[in-house]
Structure 1
Amino acid sequence: MAKSTKEHLEDTFNDLGTEELKRFKNKLCDRKKGAGIRKAQIEKVADAIDLADLMVRTFTSTGAVPAAIEILEAIGCNEQAAELKENAGHGLPVAQPHQDVVDYGAGQGQKVEGQGQKVELTLSDDWHKQLHVVLCSQQFKDKIIRQNGQEIYEVKEKKVRKRLALLINNIDFDEKAMTRRGADTDEKNMEWLLKELDYQVVKHKNLSAKEMEKAVKDFARREEHAQSDSTFVVIMSHGKRDAILGVHYSTSDPSDTFLVDNIYRSLNTENCPGLRDKPKVILIQACRGGESGRMWASDGEPEEPEGIEGDDFVHKEKDFISLMSCTPDTKSYRHVENGTFYVQNVVDVLMNHAHEDHIEELFRKVIRRFDSTDMMGSYRQMACKDRASLPKLFYLFPGL
């Protein structure tokens, strides 16, 4: 199985001598491109494992390798830089520490600026060609199925299945102040991830509430779902607590809103029989209010059923799981060039861990990222699971 970014970095740092490692850490503190890592963070680094972990948490898996190569070359460790470049790939985007962030709370067009220096990005247009989702081995899949049996959702063979994913991204609004700068990066990243996971992406951009409702209903009617084993629905826009804003939303006319409930209603057993008993993953990147500050997240306790259904009935809503970009009533932050914290972390976690974890564990890893002050800096946002009704474990088994 291919090594992860973190493992490649650990190998490289283990090859450095004591003085070289010291120079690397010093250079990391005063790095000129974007903000450097704080000295207090560096002082906590005890070994190569800690340093690799800090690099990945700071620059993400897409940017940690090129950042390390840049520093290695700057301190004269050209041999190690060349080896890392050969083993882990090159030409990747250098994702800077998360600073200079804006957010448009609840679609009101109010710009919220973060503290910190302006970030200069070094991006390569073909970075997706250099990266890939870590593939699952047949041995691992066989082992999981053997151990868990009926507790796992069926994953159809790649050669016979037809997976579909819906991607809606609202960037340009009638009110120019509501333009979601950086959202085009989110779209590229999310579309790349879905395709890597073997989903054909049905994509829409800049929709009104009525157009979003039509797009979701049309997607639910697609015949391919009968040959699928799962689906993803990804919607990115401004939002309120229980609604997503259409592009015609304005402070003077706030009627252009699409209720999140409509997603579940359109894809439930009654309206989308092709996805009956199949996982439906909902990813929503949108503010859910205007409050800021440290938030808590709770999945809640499931309600006790009122009765037991007979064999001639089926659950109207089942097999859903959603990951919201923030908790109710709070903001979701977006970098004006890198895109949202939410999409960056979802892509990074699924890219590196979907080969070994089921979807709820993947979501836990994403949520864990938002609990890291090293990653979030002074910003406070907590992704949270919502409306989960998966009775089984959903493994994506990428590549199989």
Structure 2
Amino acid sequence: MAKSTKEHLEDTFNDLGTDELKSFKNKLCDRKKGAGIRKAQLQKVADAIDLADLMVRTFTSTGAVPVAIEILEAIGCNEPAAELKENAGHGLPVAQSRGDVVDYGASQGLKVELALSDDWHEQLHVVLCSQQFKNQIIKENGHEIYKVKEKYARKRLALLINNIDFDDKAMTRRGADKDEQNMEWLLKELDYQVVKYRNLSAKDMEKAVMDFARREEHAHSDSTFVVIMSHGKRDAILGVHYTASNPSDTFPVDNVYRCLNTEKCPGLRDKPKVILIQACRGGESGRLWASDGEPDEPVEIEGDDFVHKEKDFISLMSCTPDTKSYRHVENGTFYVQNVVDVLMKHAHKDHIEELFRKVIQRFESTEMMGSYKQMACKDRASLPKLFYLFPGL
């Protein structure tokens, strides 16, 4: 069985001499890149097992190894550093300590490969669906699958709103530019034209969603994605003018659905509408927001034709109600990285609800999440059929 990150670190620390281990701990306290570990914490470390455990709890399983390698090389222990690189993997991005992780969005790496450089999207691609698979799944289960228009005949749109810079400078969402880059890349790979906004007030977010709902292209589309990333409260997304003295700059989550429902957005009637929201919903460890509204009654839209006012939605929130969502100050959020990685690798064969289940499953992993507790969750799902993206077709 392959060794865990903790076990690799224990082996490395056991091989260090007394003086080398002392130098390692001192350097860990003085670490300037990102943040180190407080001296009081290290004084409680009795052996290699304790030190390995502290490293993983502080920097997460993904970040502990590169931090250890960085410090080993800094104190001249190049051989142990090389061995750790070889045994535990040298491609991991250097993570920041808990002190540099903010409670509004998360991170690690877009899977290891995606965090290596700014041009990863030029090297990787969404796995494409084969025509054979599409034909087979439609033949076997076509009546339960949303129709996907042929590529040459459709005009898919996606809305992307990302709030990074706030009037209150302490609320700046460092690392959120990576989320924007990663999500825009994914949407384009899935053949959506991205309508993008940055740094909007609540009023401007409302207008952006309403304007998007009115776009004529939806009549020639088969689906849409709406992605909103910002700070948040339980049932609202914060605008960039939100402060303690201006708490009214909030955009209710409910308004996203109201703007895109059958009445306000007839072009997307009976078509899948995927809502992705990265924002906190409270102060407890973990995070998401959900709708508290009761299901809407059917309404008459034209003549004697009755249709459901709200249908064909599915949402994936970054965490559960009342909890936080974590964001790395350099690499972006756990949520966006996992969404992009899962869809990149599995959208060619899985429908959207299965893709979301795979994303949620990622948040169960203590190996990936370390001590950061966050659980993504589905919300307000009203898809009566299966939505396959069939990337490339």
TM-score range (shorter-chain normalised) is 0.7 to 0.9
CA distance in 2, matches of 1:326, 1:184: 20
Alignment deviations for residues 78-98 of structure 1 (CA, whole Å, 9 cap, x no partner): 9xxxxxxxxxxxxx9844568
What amino acid is aligned across from residue 359 of structure 1 in structure 2?
I
Please report how far the alpha carbon of residue 304 of structure 1 lies from its aligned counterpart in structure 2 after TM superposition.
12
Q: Does 1:390 align with 2:386?
A: no
Measured after TM superposition, the shift of residue 393 of structure 1 is 0.1
Alignment match of 2:355 (pick from 341, 351, 362): 362
Q: Give the paired residue count.
A: 331
Q: Could you list the per-position Cα deviations for residues 16-69 of structure 1 after superposition, in whole angstroms to 9, with x for gaps in the alignment?
A: xxxxx99xx95897599999xx989x9xxxxxxxxxxxxxx9659xx9xxxxxx
Name the residue aligned to 2:154.
Answer: 161
Is the 2:339–2:359 Cα contact (8 Å) retained in structure 1?
Answer: yes
Contact 1:93 1:127 in 2 (8 A): no
Is contact 1:270-1:316 (8 Å) kept?
yes
Q: Secondary structure, in 3 states, of the residue corresponding to 2:306? A: coil
- Aligned residues of 2:127 and 2:346 also touching (Cα < 8 A): yes
Aligned partner letter, 2:179: D
List alignment gaps of at least 5 residues for structure 2.
14-23, 25-32, 37-47, 53-59, 67-78, 108-113
Decide whether aligned partners of structure 1 residues 305 and 175 sit closer, same or farther in structure 2, where only a CA change above 3 A counts.
closer
Partner residue in 2 for 1:330: 323
Matches within 5 A, 1:43-82: none
Q: Give, in whole Å, the separation in 1 of the partners of 2:115 and 2:187.
A: 24
Normalised by the size of structure 2, how large is the TM-score? 0.73
Contact 1:297/1:382 (CA < 8 Å) preserved in 2?
Answer: no
Secondary structure of 1:224 counterpart: helix
Change in Cα spacing, 1:259 to 1:93, as seen in structure 2 (3 Å) is: farther
Offset at 1:143?
1.0
Give the corresponding residue for 1:180.
173
CA contact (8 A) 1:299 1:385 kept: no
Residues 245-284 of structure 1 correspond to what in structure 2 (within 5 A)? 245-284=238-277
2:95 paired with 1:102: no
Equivalences for residues 158-307 of structure 1 within 5 A: 158-292=151-285
- 1:219 alignment partner AA: F
Work out the percentage of aligned pairs sharing the same amino acid.
73
1:124 matched to 2:117? The reply is yes
Gap runs ≥5 in structure 1: 1-12, 14-20, 43-56, 64-70, 79-91, 107-112, 115-120
1:252 positional shift: 1.3
On the 8 A contact 1:269/1:316 being kept in 2, the answer is: yes
State the secondary structure of the residue aligned to 2:360.
helix
Q: Where does residue 148 of structure 1 map in the other structure? A: 141
Greater C-alpha radius of gyration: 2
Partner amino acid, structure 2, of 1:263:
V
What secondary structure, in the 3-state scheme, does the structure 2 residue paired with 1:397 have?
A: coil
Distance 2:288 2:187 in 1: 29
Contact 2:297 2:309 in 1 (8 A): no
- Aligned residue identity for 1:291: E
Q: CA deviation at 1:123?
A: 3.8
Question: What's the Cα RMSD here?
Answer: 4.3
TM-score by length of 1: 0.72
Per the TM alignment, residue 122 of structure 1 is displaced from its structure 2 partner at its CA by: 7.5
Q: Against the structure 1 CA distance between its residues 232 and 284, is the aligned structure 2 distance closer, same or farther, given a 3 Å change threshold?
A: same
Deviations 1:171-203 (A, max 9, x none): 000000000000000000000000010000000
Query: Could you tell me whether the CA contact under 8 Å between 1:246 and 1:258 is conserved in 2?
Result: yes
8 Å Cα contact 1:299-1:384 kept in structure 2: no
Contact 2:338-2:362 at 8 Å conserved across structures: yes
CA distance in 1, matches of 2:219, 2:290: 34
Please state whether the residue corresponding to 1:323 is helix, strand or coil: strand
